[in-house]
Each structure stands twice: as C-alpha cells, then as structure tokens.
Structure 1
C-alpha cells in the first residue's frame, strides 16, 4: 500500500507537507493541496487512522456490547446510540456477548486495547469491578438495559418489574388464572425483574398462580422447546396464559401453539416483551411490553459523551417506563 512518503514523492513535496494537507489543510496553499490530492488519487493512498490514533493515544470511537445482536431490540438500541454519536463524529464499534460472560470480557479487553473514548454495555456477567477499573483508567462507561449496581457508573434502563406487573395484570384482566413466565436464565437481571413484577401482581389475585419456565437462551428456539414441554402435560395442568420474557421467545411459543392446533388467544393467551417489529407482524399479532429502545440508546450515548467531555460530571441513572401494547394474542 502507498505510504505518505510515496505521496510526497509523487506530489514533489515533503512528507510533512502531506501530513499538513491531511490534518491541517489551512496551513497549505490551494496549489499544493491540489497536487497532494492528485497524488493520493493516483496512488490509491489510504490514511492509517489506527496508527495515527495510536501515536496520539486517543481513539474517537465508542464501543457497544450487547447481550444478543440477533435481537431487534438491541439493534434499535444501537441505532439510537449510533445516530447521536455519528453527529459527534464518533464511530460506533459493536460487540455481541451472546449472553456469554467470557465473550463479554473479551470485548471489554479489546475495546480497552483500542483505547476507545468510552463504552456502552448491556452486561451479562458480574463485570462491575472491571467497569470500575476502566473508568479509573480514563474510559467512561454507561450501563444499558439495567440500572447500575454502582453509584460511580451512569445507567439507562427500563423499570422491568413494572413491565412484568403490567403483563400479568393484563393477562389476569383477560381471565388468566394459570400464568407461565417463559424464557431466559433467572440469573439474568432483566429476566429476574420481569418475573418478580409478574409474581407481585399475581399475589394480589387469589384465583391466579404463576410458574417460571427457565430457558438457557432468549430466542425463538428456546420458546419452542419450552412450549413443547408445556404441551406434553395433561390439559388441566397447562397454563392458560404465557408471558414470554422477550418477543423472540414469544414468537417461538406462538409457532408451537399454532402448529399444535392450540388457539391463541381462545385457549392460551400470549404476551411478550420489547415490542419488536416482528411481534406486531406475527401471524397472530402479539401483545407486548414496549421499551423505548432507540430513545434509550440515544440517551445512553448522551450520558457517555458528557462523561467523555467532563470526567467529573455527576453520575445519572435514567429509568424509562414500559408501556403495554395490546394486540390480538390476548384479546380473547
């Protein structure tokens, strides 16, 4: 690949002049600028920003680590963050932990090695000590999708207990008495909070009961597997409502119910969480708890930018409120 010295030789100028033309064009005459750009075009020169940033000890990019890049919810979160950061001239680097702690740590190490300006993260493991160390080393961090368990780190989240409560309340209002909460390991805080909210609402109704069906993942395949297990029971032991802890799980639940001849919502009510586009466009549109994903991503990026500009800026915990979106899957 062409180097700066090659461009300088072709343009008949010094390497320092080429550097000025690229980084401080106001210091170079228009005639010289034209010669340098012509040489760049002829040689196909591409500047090495990585090397330049390494020399400067600064990288304008921001790292984002999500739980599941295949989930459209996190795509929307990333889109909101990317829009704000792009306006600031900051590239967004995406890492997918796939709900694996080891992969999460690998991305944290990589972003630290790249000397990113800051990190946004939807954590899966107990990484608070690692995040504190990053901050102490000059890399600010904002936690997304759950409230930070540490006062020194800002966070953007949704009140998931309230979301679980809303889902259970709606199912009970539609006549449900046996609610199955399906999806995700209970160790994942978002799942635990949604389950807790549903349990709190069910305790207020003497006729209702709730059970939790754990899955190792939060995708459609997990929803299908859990539903097949539920349908293997005798009819009187099956739930009359399913609250899936995200919409991908709900889609898997719906697939098995429809394939098995179970009528939704007449036989089993179904509600999900996140309100991704697929939920609204399913064969039977799925009731869901909406999270303002793009708005959360944008707000997290704003908090991070503030911390980048002023490391002494106050920590802030922003908690958005979920919203019940009613569709055909619960309109019995």
Structure 2
C-alpha cells in the first residue's frame, strides 16, 4: 500500500503543513527540514497524489498539443519546440493525434477538458471546431497552431502558406515548367487550400502555364503513391512535368512511386514538397521543399499559451505569422523540359 503524507510527516517529525510546503512551496522551509522530509519520502517510497492536487487546484500541469498526424515528422518537431517551453515551466507535455478526423478531434478535446489541462495547442482539422466554445466557457486556454486565427480574440501561430505555395510554383516556372500539378488534400484542411491558392496565384501570372489538381484523402506517403499512379496513368503528352505537393510526405510518396516505375526525377517529373522535414534531404533524390521553422512554431505557440495562463489581466492575443523559405535540392534541378 502506498505511503501517505501523514506517515511521511510522522517519520520526519514535522506537521502535515510542513510536508505540504516542502512539496509545493519549498522556499518557505529551511534546508535542514527539507532534507529530513525528502529522506522520509525516499525511505517510505512516497509518491504524491497529483490527481488529487490537480482536483483541488482545478487545473492540471499538463500541456496538450493536438495535431493532425503524430506520425508526420513536421508535427513531431513542432511538439518538440513546445515541449522545451513546457519543461522549463515544470509542465508535462502530451501530443495527441486527430488523424485528420473532426469527430475524433471533438472527442479528444472533450476528454482534455475533463482532465482540466493547463492549456491546449491545437492544429484544427477544419474551419470550425465546435468544442472551442466549450473550452472557452470552461476557461481552458487554447492557441491555434499552424493555423492563423480569423478573430482577434484568440492567439495563433502560423506560417504564410499562400506565400509558400507561390514561391514553390514560381520556382518550377523559373525552371521552365509550364504544365504543373498540385498534389494535396483533403480540401477541408486550410493549409492545403492556402498552399494550392498560392501556387495558383503564381501560375495566373503566366498565360502559358497551367496547373491541375490531384486530390488526396490524406497527407501521407501512401496518399502520395496513389497520386503518383494517377499522374502516371495520364497520356504521356498530357502528363505534367512538375508537381507541387502539399507536404513532404506526399512528395516522398510521389517520388518513390515514380522511381519504382523506372521514371527519373527531375527529368520526368520535378517535385517540390512542403515542410522540409529531415527526410527531405535524405530522400533517394534529395527533395526541394518549402521550409517552415518547425521548432520555433512550437516554442512561440507554447509561450503565447503560458502568457495567457500566467498573465490573464495583461495578456494580449497575438496572431503570429512566419514566412517560409524555399530550400532547393536535386528534385528540381534544371533539366530539359518536355514540350
């Protein structure tokens, strides 16, 4: 049976109030008393009941990062940045994946609300998240992650994805490509739409350039391989010469499938991804990608969240936006473009 605080107090020869101070306000207790209490804790194997403490406080010490896909290295890097801030503030960070499902997202947010989490960094699956209003009413701070807020009443940290799509398409056009394809989906994810819209705005600047879309059900490598098969099934004279993919996982799937079918990258298809995950540089053909400051996104979002928690009277909501950059590698190296 687990040791109790009362047993620790008896062994250390102090009051229950002193035990509480040692655990929660050690600066109020002399060093000699703290040492005696910690020795008793070690001897008895005492573990504090953090759940009970959180219940009394009305809030846990858990920071939740809710992302679209925890398997995506982009979100792992973003969460790592948030975790650095959480650890510095003695918080436990957990990462939760919605699997790009709005139903699953609502269920998970409801569970986090029941757990009285310290705050939530949320990458939403769609434009509206019904649970947000409930979280606001309960007083659970939420910062939108990798998604800009369209209202001044909520903080957000995002990347200018329209600009990212624009620089990706312009790069392909500068390489001489005039028949492009955008690979991405589902369309309910705003980042996908913004990246496509940015590319379309660049294509619109050239009367001789066109860009079609191959929609995907997810942002995974598997979805990329299916998209590649759809591209390969097009008549050779109509097949695009360059692809801009909504993220690197899709791009890696397209790249892999083209190589397996004996095609060359970039000679048969130039490819640009998005996120610049670590795997991009190490691909069979190193992948050109639109880079986001992944770790910095997580840190900035967590810092905004904690400021909202710790300084409710002076906190001002901010909508931070980072500018992506293009990292050019061999997957778009200059090559003769098919007519």
TM beyond 0.5: yes
User: 1:315 is matched with which residue?
Assistant: 317
* DSSP 3-state at the match of 1:182: strand
User: 2:258 is matched with which residue?
Assistant: 257
Shift of the 28–266 alpha-carbon distance from structure 1 to 2, 3 Å rule, reads closer
Partner deviation per Cα, 1:86-144 (whole Å, 9 max, x = no partner): 22222222211111112211221122112122211110034444324322322221111
Q: CA deviation at 1:172?
A: 1.0
Segment drifting more, 253-262 vs 113-122? 113-122
* DSSP 3-state at the match of 1:152: coil
Native 8 Å contact 1:140 1:311 kept in 2: no
* DSSP 3-state at the match of 1:236: coil
Partner deviation per Cα, 1:209-234 (whole Å, 9 max, x = no partner): 11111111101111011101211222
Give the whole-Å Cα distance in 1 for the aligned partners of 2:311 and 2:218.
38
- Answering whether residue 223 of structure 2 is matched by residue 225 of structure 1, we say no
User: 1:18 is matched with which residue?
Assistant: 19
> TM-score, length-normalised on structure 2?
0.92
User: 1:4 is matched with which residue?
Assistant: 5
User: 2:112 is matched with which residue?
Assistant: 111
Give the whole-Å Cα distance in 1 for the aligned partners of 2:42 and 2:225.
55
Give the whole-Å Cα distance in 2 for the aligned partners of 1:196 and 1:100.
23
User: 2:137 is matched with which residue?
Assistant: 136
User: 1:174 is matched with which residue?
Assistant: 175
Q: CA deviation at 1:7?
A: 2.6
* DSSP 3-state at the match of 1:143: strand
Q: CA deviation at 1:56?
A: 1.8
Q: CA deviation at 1:49?
A: 1.4
Native 8 Å contact 2:247 2:273 kept in 1: yes
Segment drifting more, 155-164 vs 85-94? 85-94
User: 2:74 is matched with which residue?
Assistant: 73
Give the whole-Å Cα distance in 2 for the aligned partners of 1:210 and 1:12.
77
Segment drifting more, 34-43 vs 97-106? 34-43
Structure 1 residue runs without a partner (length 5+): none
Give the whole-Å Cα distance in 2 for the aligned partners of 1:237 and 1:77.
39
Partner deviation per Cα, 1:219-263 (whole Å, 9 max, x = no partner): 111101110121122211211111111001111111111111111
Native 8 Å contact 1:128 1:150 kept in 2: no
User: 2:90 is matched with which residue?
Assistant: 89
- Answering whether residue 293 of structure 2 is matched by residue 292 of structure 1, we say yes
- Answering whether residue 323 of structure 2 is matched by residue 330 of structure 1, we say no
User: 1:205 is matched with which residue?
Assistant: 206
